[in-house]
Amino acid sequence: MRFLRSHVDAVTAVLLSGAYLVEVYLKAGPAAGQPLLSSLETNESAAIAAALAFLLSLALRSRLPLVPLGLAFVAVLLAGRGELEASWTLLAGLLLAAYSVGAWAGGRAGQVGALGVGALAGLVIIRSGGEPLEPRTMALSLLLLVGAWALGLAARSIRAGRGDERVSGELDWVASSGVPDSAGRDETVRQIRDVVERSMSAVVLQSRTARASMDREPSRARRSLSIIEAAGTEALEETQRLTGLLLSPDGTPLPEPQPGLADIEYLAAQVSEAGLPVTTRVEGDPLPLTPDLDAIAYRVVHEALMSTLYHSTDARSSVVVRYEPDELQVQIIDDGISLAGEDPAEETAGLMAVRREIAAMGGTLDAGPVEDRGYWVLARLPYQPEWS
């Protein structure tokens, strides 16, 4: 067992090579199909030799991951045209090679490997497709190879987080790009979780409404479906922006703007449709806000309304945005009754996360139950944040 653990790559390569030979000599069709290039005439022996060289090179996948990737091109070229599923062993080897590039290639080698995986996916599409190329074939090939590469990247990140010396502590191209440190990445991941959670909650709520009113009130069902579409679009855009912080080579977010106070009316309409009537009011003369301040103010309103919607019943809520001389105040008050078994004074994870963000910029967030019934939230946000 100790030997197998220390030579797992070599053992895997030998097993795949043996399985390929068994597969080739048991099937009726030839290993080499119609040439990919008219000038590239190959025979079955050459195709088998190229595939075996590629599969055996997987023994080097964790030390020299670009070597199997390069030999994969040769194997696919010499194999000619035909459905890739004709050789499941070769397909497994290609997926393992793509995974290994993501898992073990860092720095410039990782960038070259990423381009190589994309090129290999294109070659596989040409090899497997007919004339014209079928979209299903293209999508499947891209999904398999690029998905294996992305899975390798995730495995590399996990190893880097655990201090594995084999990946040099962190993905080189990410470390040099200005992407947030570990704490920043954790916060971004939490934000992605919040985006998905609140959007999927809206989708579930509106789906229930649409199903219940499909026959009796078609217009209400159509409104619910429109809200579902909008929530899904918002989740997609926000997730793209946040994952851009983690994955974009230059460490900058994708260009989609974050929601801000201008989106509160739309948010209030969504929440009202979901069963919590919301009124909004602006006090004072509106002032221009920085994108970060605008986004945090919106998140305060969103998290407070979601908390009331999910944890209270028989409620109405009011949102007040006050432009004071020195600070922006955002106040949310509801008159709901806490659901059975829930502590009305307990603060949600979303509000706690927003509280930390506001504290980092020098502001405050206070919240708590109203004496008779309901819950209140008050955020005080300085116009000129002092980020800590």
Please give the DSSP secondary-structure letter assigned to residue 37: S
Residue after which a domain boundary falls, among 241, 256, 271: 256
DSSP state letters, 135-202: HHHHHHHHHHHHHHHHHHHHHHHHHHHTT-GGGTTS-HHHHTTT---HHHHHHHHHHHHHHHHHHHHH
Beta strands in the chain (DSSP E): 278-283, 312-313, 317-323, 327-334, 337-338, 364-369, 375-382
Same domain flag for 280 and 189? no
pTM of the model: 0.41
Same domain flag for 168 and 181? no
Same domain flag for 169 and 233? no
Q: Which domain holds residue 15?
A: 2-175
Same domain flag for 109 and 33? yes
Contact, 251 vs 177, CB < 8 A? yes
Same domain flag for 205 and 354? no
The CATH number for 317's domain is 3.30.565.10
Structural domains of the chain, count: 3
Same domain flag for 17 and 154? yes
Same domain flag for 159 and 296? no
pLDDT tens per residue, range 76-133:
877 766 555 456 788 888 888 888 888 888 777 878 888 888 888 877 777 665 554 4
pLDDT tens per residue, range 29-87:
445 555 555 545 556 777 788 888 988 998 888 888 899 998 888 888 777 665 554 56
The single residue listed with the structure tokens 């197998």 is: 4
Same domain flag for 11 and 150? yes
Same domain flag for 209 and 113? no
Q: How many CB atoms lie within 10 A of CB 223?
A: 17
Q: How many CB atoms lie within 10 A of CB 122?
A: 14
Residue after which a domain boundary falls, among 227, 256, 285: 256
Residue after which a domain boundary falls, among 256, 289, 317: 256
Contact, 35 vs 78, CB < 8 A? no
Same domain flag for 40 and 155? yes
Same domain flag for 48 and 23? yes
Same domain flag for 126 and 239? no
